[in-house]
Amino acid sequence: MDVTQSNCPGDLTTDRGTYFSTSHPISCSPSLLGTPGQVYKEPKSLHGIQSPSIVFGLNIHSYSTMKYLLAIDSSPDFFELPSNASLILGSITSGFGCSDLPYGYYADEANNCAIFHVCLPYINFGQIITRQFSFMCGEGTVFDQENLICDFPENALPCSSALEYRRVNEYFGRTDRNFLE
């Protein structure tokens, strides 16, 4: 099997291809354009979806490129936010985690609600796994936990009250409530 090799810890080479760990920095990954002269045979699908090289019509030479085209999860220790987010938000406090939270949108009070997170629990081989995705509101806006939108602070629920409104997420997936009446 011809693959782009990486010396990064956590990478795994199997008979189906090389799977690059998401736990090491991007600088440790192979070139996003691949290594000239080496052939990389990427898997036909990732988690049951077609390769992004097929979906997006891109010329992808390495699996690491595909990994960065897909959403990368945040964690309590590291929020996956746009580059230079701290230039807009100032100092970013990590620590928010989705463990034990149901599906939903959650204001990050430690960051004055300028950041919010989407928690997505799912079952994988009988085990509950929760993915966390982090987002920042536009400059000058905060996440309103009551209405689940980014809004100007004067129009939004006070950030200090966000925890009291987390239950609004319990309405996702319910069919016994009609919100149009």
Domain count, the chain: 2
My answer on whether 96 and 30 are in the same domain is no
Is 130 among the domain residues? Answer: yes
My answer on whether 153 and 106 are in the same domain is yes
71-102: per-residue pLDDT in tens? 567 877 778 888 888 888 999 999 999 988 99
Mean pLDDT of 46-52: 44
Q: CA-to-CA distance for 97 and 94, rounded, in angstroms?
A: 9
Contact (CB, 8 A) for 63 and 19 = yes
pTM for the whole thing? 0.59
- How much of the chain is in helix, strand and coil states, percent to nearest 5? 20, 25, 55
Mean pLDDT of 139-166: 97
Mean pLDDT of 136-150: 96
My answer on whether 98 and 57 are in the same domain is no
Mean pLDDT of 101-125: 95
| Domain span holding position 54 | 12-69
Residue 66 pLDDT exceeds 80: no
Alpha carbon 175 to chain centroid, angstroms: 27
Residue 163 pLDDT exceeds 60: yes
My answer on whether 62 and 110 are in the same domain is no
| Sign of CA pseudo-dihedral 129, 72, 49, 18 | negative
Mean pLDDT of 117-125: 92
